[in-house]
Chains A and B, each alone.
Chain A
């Protein structure tokens, strides 16, 4: 056990996200994070408040608790899949750890603890505000607070074990060919598809609730929830009945279930983890001679920018961690939006009616705003410098201006983001939006995507995480990614909110969005890239 904790401590230290030069403190970071946390927490709290009051009228206020725990578990499960693939299989430290005299369960235990810490962050955003609102509204006592703290610590275990076991199964039993790298991709994609499948299941579950069960008591809801995440119902019951013996028993039962889940995970991992790991770090080689003609074709000259963008995209696509987090994300967002629409019980005709009912101004503003956000959510430009790691010196010895190289990095981000933007546009056309409107929306979306991509690059250039052991630390454990997402959200809000609040006409919206995106594009495209280049130039790498 001691070894597990020592290893977990080291793994956590290696990926805190605090990068850049040693000794340089980012005083503003806690402020930004606190602001983000408080604003998101408040919006969650307000949602919970609305839900509580609505359910209270029909005497089912307690249903808030299982709903919140269910939603948290789904989020933990989904992110858990990404995290376990990255942390348990694709992290470069795995080969280092394999050489140490450690048993599989010790490595797994330590990695699981680090994952648990990351999941607490999601919990703090989603579940904590709901529990606070419920506690205040229902006039719950100190025991509720104690139970809440204990449960907050235990709740992620079951969902995380489920995702980790799923990933271990996929990784263990899908590697049979020669190209193990390719299988890693397939494994990651299968896990992702399953996560989306579960999301759809949860959505339809929620629909059933809205139609009938929501009026039923919280116990019924907890039982249904337990079918999705075994044992989770006990957690909800423990909280809603915290003053009774039943509450205590439920708490103990839940702790037992979680301990059992952890034991299953470690036992299962002891059996399959190492076997699934074999070959993960292997790269296949053909050792094939290239003919002179072929050589000429493969080395035909292209422009500096084209060559640079090609290099960036090749590296993103060929690294499993970058592929899952940066490339695949661009396909996932539009799919997720569709899943949310269809899953919420809307038929094709209803969505079509919804799209048609949107006025032009809302449609173009929303499209541009979502494009800005999607471009910030794929972690491409916000890790563009960090991904270079210790090889950042390469950028500096090439006979190409740093500004030109950074422009190519932004362009690569934009090109990959454009997949998501194009898919969204195609969906709009499919649902019957006017093609002219979609073209206008696409133009604004491209501009917003550019601004968002440049902001990401700037965030990363201000404090790149260059000291990493594996790409997973550069991409997944990089605070710049979250800062960029927040900036993307803010940009989307600046584009969309005034249009909605002030009820802009189409002409005014077009003028407003064009002027705003235009000014930002010039300011960011000139100022931020120049400033980023100057920072890199002055870095001692």
Chain B
């Protein structure tokens, strides 16, 4: 579970990226995070992952304060950034071993974890090559595998579907569903409203650093006769 309470983030003392944001991401559901470019999606995600610090308010991940109990919160989190171009000169297998070492994954579990994920993402033949030789989608997959190596309870994914082929996108969506159904938390940002509509149980819409809507995604559509796209555009235009 992720609880964001009254969080404000100001960049360089001037630009208010988030303005008193409060949001609760429940367990057992896939929670989508929607918003136009520059609305504050990545800032919110970076705050939850402990990459940047809020200027006001608190965030807890599974009950751990991301500021005061940062390491415990991080151990429970699997974070997938929006840019998969990291450590390009490491081999896929070296990257996964590194992530496993950082998260203290027992040696015995590593091979099984990697095998299962590599099979689902069709990456078995690529692990011995350098990430530099991977396509964008393959880089995305290796980053996702690294983030999930330690079997975290809370998944935070920033635009995870970008660049994935249909099979891998389907696998990731299935994995997200399985993870949420097992009582865990899945929070992901996306630009693609069709994905949000099909995958998410709940969603929040952010615009100009403020939460414009938070709740069931199907409730949002049912309450109006128009499409999700139209609702989204109306909401964010007025923000």
Chain A interface (Cβ < 8 Å from any Cβ of B): 21, 23, 283-290, 292, 295-296, 298-304, 306-308, 310-311, 314-315, 318-319, 390-391, 393-394, 396-401, 537-538, 540-541
The smallest C-beta distance from B36 to any residue of chain A, in angstroms, reads 21
Which residues of chain B (98-142) have a CB below 8 Å from chain A? 98, 100-107, 110-111, 114-115, 124-130, 132-133
The residue on A at minimum CB distance from B127 is A290
A398-B74 contact given A318-B89, A391-B86, CB 8 Å threshold: yes
A299 touches B107 (CB 8 A): yes
A289 to B122, CA, bound (A): 11
The smallest C-beta distance from B102 to any residue of chain A, in angstroms, reads 5
Given contacts A289-B128, A299-B111, A400-B71, 18 further A-B contacts (CB under 8 A): A21-B12, A284-B133, A288-B125, A298-B94, A299-B110, A302-B101, A307-B102, A310-B98, A314-B94, A315-B89, A391-B83, A391-B86, A391-B87, A396-B52, A397-B49, A397-B79, A538-B53, A541-B51
A393 to B107, CA, bound (A): 26
A23 to B15, CA, bound (A): 14
- Top 7 nearest A-B pairs (CB, nearest first) are A307-B101, A285-B133, A399-B74, A283-B132, A318-B89, A301-B107, A299-B97
A283 touches B87 (CB 8 A): no
Residues on A with C-beta less than 8 A from B53 are 537-538
Residues on A with C-beta less than 8 A from B124 are 289-290
Residues on A with C-beta less than 8 A from B89 are 314-315, 318-319
Interface size on B, residues (CB 8 A): 46
Cβ of B216 within 8 Å of any chain A Cβ, yes or no, is: no
A283 touches B86 (CB 8 A): no
A311 touches B90 (CB 8 A): yes
B52 interface neighbour in A304, A307, A401, A540, Cβ under 8 Å = A540
B96 touches A299 (CB 8 A): yes
The smallest C-beta distance from A128 to any residue of chain B, in angstroms, reads 40
Cβ of B46 within 8 Å of any chain A Cβ, yes or no, is: yes
Which residues of chain B (127-185) have a CB below 8 Å from chain A? 127-130, 132-133
A9 to B17, CA, bound (A): 34
Q: What are 18 pairs between A and B in contact, CB < 8 Å?
A: A283-B132, A289-B124, A289-B128, A290-B93, A295-B110, A295-B111, A296-B111, A299-B107, A299-B110, A299-B114, A301-B105, A304-B102, A315-B87, A391-B85, A391-B86, A393-B81, A394-B81, A541-B52
A-B contact count (CB 8 A): 118
Residues on A with C-beta less than 8 A from B132 are 283
The smallest C-beta distance from A489 to any residue of chain B, in angstroms, reads 31
The smallest C-beta distance from A438 to any residue of chain B, in angstroms, reads 36
- The interface centre, meaning the residue of A398, A401, A538 with most chain B CB atoms within 10 A of its CB, is A398
The smallest C-beta distance from A359 to any residue of chain B, in angstroms, reads 47
A60 to B85, CA, bound (A): 61
A399 touches B75 (CB 8 A): yes
A372 to B96, CA, bound (A): 36
Residues on B with C-beta less than 8 A from A290 are 93, 124, 127-128
A303 to B130, CA, bound (A): 23
A425 to B104, CA, bound (A): 38
A295-B115 contact given A301-B107, A319-B89, A541-B52, CB 8 Å threshold: yes
A483 to B162, CA, bound (A): 41
Cβ of B6 within 8 Å of any chain A Cβ, yes or no, is: no
Residues on B with C-beta less than 8 A from A394 are 81, 86
A288 touches B128 (CB 8 A): yes
B97 touches A287 (CB 8 A): no
Cβ of B215 within 8 Å of any chain A Cβ, yes or no, is: no
A269 to B11, CA, bound (A): 46
Cβ of B28 within 8 Å of any chain A Cβ, yes or no, is: no
Cβ of B50 within 8 Å of any chain A Cβ, yes or no, is: yes
A307 touches B93 (CB 8 A): no
B51 touches A396 (CB 8 A): yes
B129 interface neighbour in A285, A292, A390, Cβ under 8 Å = A285
A307 touches B97 (CB 8 A): yes
A288 to B133, CA, bound (A): 13
A311 touches B98 (CB 8 A): yes
A400 interface neighbour in B102, B106, B133, Cβ under 8 Å = B102
A438 to B4, CA, bound (A): 60
The smallest C-beta distance from A403 to any residue of chain B, in angstroms, reads 12
The smallest C-beta distance from A323 to any residue of chain B, in angstroms, reads 10
Residues on B with C-beta less than 8 A from A23 are 12
Residues on A with C-beta less than 8 A from B114 are 295, 299
Residues on A with C-beta less than 8 A from B96 are 299
- The interface centre, meaning the residue of A301, A314, A401 with most chain B CB atoms within 10 A of its CB, is A301
Residues on B with C-beta less than 8 A from A401 are 71
A537 to B56, CA, bound (A): 16
Residues on B with C-beta less than 8 A from A307 are 97-98, 101-102
A304 to B124, CA, bound (A): 26
A283 interface neighbour in B71, B79, B101, B133, Cβ under 8 Å = B133
B106 interface neighbour in A288, A301, A308, Cβ under 8 Å = A301
